[in-house]
Structure 1
Amino acid sequence: MKKNNILILSAGRRVELVQNFQTEAARFSDGIQVLATDLNPRMSPACHAADGAFSVPPIAAANYIDNIFDLARQQGIGLIIPTIDTELQKLADARSRFEEAGIHIVVSDSELVALCRDKRATAGLFERCGIATPEIYGRENLTFPCFAKPYDGSRSIGAKYIHTAEDLSYDLLKDPKTIFCQYIDITNKFTEFTVDLYYDRSGRLKCAVPRERLEVRSGEVSKGATRRNGLYTLLAGKMAHLEGARGCITAQFFYNGSTLYGIEINPRFGGGFPLTYAAGGNYPGWLISEYLYGGAIPFFDQWENNLIMLRYDAKVLVHE
């Protein structure tokens, strides 16, 4: 069986990501299907948008990887796209098994995924790139105001602004997963950016699209704008190579025109990626070209500047 279909894991609400891959798959005129998985596909809008959808066990289940592997072989999958943080380490650890079967998981190396999942280690990763990070305070030496968050959290879940010592609860202070960081006041000249970076199979940067976070809802950008500014120039140099990186890497920064702080790195597609795609960052097409057809991806910087995205809720109707 020819392995040229695409499988998007944990598709959930990522309708636009599925559609972006479908648009690019159609350009190859090779019958590529874009399939999706979810714990409950019937209740996943993205699964209804896909060319086919399949139920899989919870990520924490012991048979999760085996289930994905068997599904990929049965459905002629050549390219697997992870979408959420909690599945990345398992997939990275199993990547060679899939590669031996001719199935490419677009996931960074295990070592890089582990560094990105632990925000304490991510600070060291930024440092190696020559990028400063907010200071992480010891529990006995807190400076207020500060920012508390789980070291392995995502989507701003569990993140909390601590204005004074009176706002610090006993449970938060004793939670071993909580880290306390220097607070960066975005109302005082700093702007928050998410940057979608595309790395080829050798960890070389091929595209970087900074997105200003104009409005955020539940940790995901709801209003954003592409910005070609000093941040773009800095990252094109400082992050030109990232050992073990593969595909779309989503990183967050605070920048004020002169000072740059790296906040976190998520080695996967971010929720605001449709803006990057609309601006010309054709990551889905490049992944298909690179992994399914052995194409070489040139550096691309002709994406549209100052393109604004205003997101809204839409519906998918499922008839009985």
Structure 2
Amino acid sequence: MDMVFNVLISSVGKRVKLVRFFQEELKKITAVSKVYTTEMNPRLSPAAVISDGCFKVPRVTSNEYIDNLLEICISNNIGIIIPTIDTELLILAENKGRFEKQGIYVMVSDLSFVQACRDKRNTGIFLSEHGIRVPALRDKYGDRFPMFAKPYDGSLSKDLYIIRDKEELTPEILNHPKLIFMEYIDKNVYKEFTVDMYYGKDSKVKSIVPRERIEIRAGEINKGYTRKNYLVQFLKERLGYLPGVIGCICIQLFYRDSDDDVVGIEINPRFGGGYPLSYYAGANFPEYMIREYVLGETLDYTDTWKNNTLMLRYDSEIIVHEE
């Protein structure tokens, strides 16, 4: 089957595995399709180097960004755009219609859902409305300790604080304009999970893969297991259909298996950094996207991925010999 239908992974950074997953899946249906990428500095992005071609773009907050990205897509027969960073999601959701008019699918959910995910205050409301408990809010001038504080628009595990008594409430924390204060969830009692979920064109969930986070580095899972546990049915019942949600999202939560208590933390409406674990367990989201958006197939829910798959990450290198 020969077709010209290329994929573009934007702001690709270090996501070497994500590029390779899409390259491998595209090769199964056509020898001519490519996986392109975008970056502000392509020479210094390992994933850009191993892609089939990388285009230099301005910062995602630039007024020229969308026009530039659209021109790249039209000129290079791009059929699917895969965003990878939080700061890009809102602007792509706002402009998704411009790309769709050119036959280009942007793998980002509708604007209202992205807005709910990007602001942790809205995320708490969304989760509560769908029957998922969230940490109770705390008064930073109160006396209920320990408490936890994080920015309402944060990412990469930056500016996170565990406050165990009043003495730890420093002026830096008290005066931080974006911190929200909440109940502290004890990691000695609860297990920490990120759950990869794939939503089809019909906004119905097709795959749910809980990943237990054993060790974290720079906000991403470094060691972890897939777990076919209570969380699968719990999330399927509450989030089985989300209007306007498509593609990959990942939900962070805490789970206490002694009484099946689940506490929702945040939602990222994109591929998570730890997605490779789900892929190797058999939850092939790149294949799902190609089947839906390239081949026009309809997907059914599947849970054939392998339980208790362990991922142990390590650093590797991309070497470029420049002349």
List aligned pairs for 1:235-254, cutoff 5 A. 235-254=235-254
Q: Which runs of 5+ in 1 are unaligned?
A: none
- With the length of structure 1 as denominator, give the TM-score of the two structures: 0.97
- CA deviation digits over 1:211-239, x for unaligned, max 9? 00010001010001000011112112111
Is 2:4–2:32's contact at 8 Å kept on the other side of the alignment? Answer: no
List aligned pairs for 1:19-58, cutoff 5 A. 19-58=20-59
Shift of 1:297: 1.1
- One-letter identity of the residue aligned with 1:153: G
Shift of 1:32: 1.3
Structure 2 counterpart of 1:117: 118
Structure 2 counterpart of 1:192: 192
- One-letter identity of the residue aligned with 1:268: R
Q: Secondary structure at the match of 1:42?
A: helix
Structure 1 counterpart of 2:66: 65
Distance 1:182-1:290 versus aligned 2 partners, 3 A rule = same
Shift of 1:172: 1.7
State how far apart, in whole Å, the 1-side matches of 2:78 and 2:198 are: 22
Is 2:117–2:267's contact at 8 Å kept on the other side of the alignment? Answer: yes
**Aligned: 1:298 with 2:313:** no
State how far apart, in whole Å, the 1-side matches of 2:304 and 2:250 are: 19
**Aligned: 1:282 with 2:264:** no
Query: Could you list the runs of 4 or more consecutive aligned residues of structure 1 that deviate by over 6 angstroms after TM superposition?
Result: none
Structure 2 counterpart of 1:311: 313
Shift of 1:31: 1.6
Q: Secondary structure at the match of 2:99?
A: helix
Is 1:3–1:102's contact at 8 Å kept on the other side of the alignment? Answer: no
- With the length of structure 2 as denominator, give the TM-score of the two structures: 0.96
Is 1:142–1:180's contact at 8 Å kept on the other side of the alignment? Answer: no
Is 1:89–1:110's contact at 8 Å kept on the other side of the alignment? Answer: yes
Shift of 1:30: 5.0
Structure 2 counterpart of 1:103: 104
Q: Which runs of 5+ in 2 are unaligned?
A: none
- One-letter identity of the residue aligned with 2:228: R
Pick which of 140-149 and 35-44 moved more: 140-149
Shift of 1:309: 0.2
Shift of 1:210: 0.3
Shift of 1:157: 1.1
Q: Secondary structure at the match of 2:48?
A: helix
Q: Secondary structure at the match of 1:238?
A: helix
- One-letter identity of the residue aligned with 2:5: N
- One-letter identity of the residue aligned with 1:237: E
Structure 1 counterpart of 2:184: 183
- One-letter identity of the residue aligned with 1:198: Y
State how far apart, in whole Å, the 1-side matches of 2:143 and 2:269 are: 30
Pick which of 69-78 and 24-33 moved more: 24-33
Match of 2:273 among 255, 271, 274: 271
State how far apart, in whole Å, the 1-side matches of 2:124 and 2:143 are: 18
**Identity percentage over the alignment?**
47
Is 1:78–1:103's contact at 8 Å kept on the other side of the alignment? Answer: yes
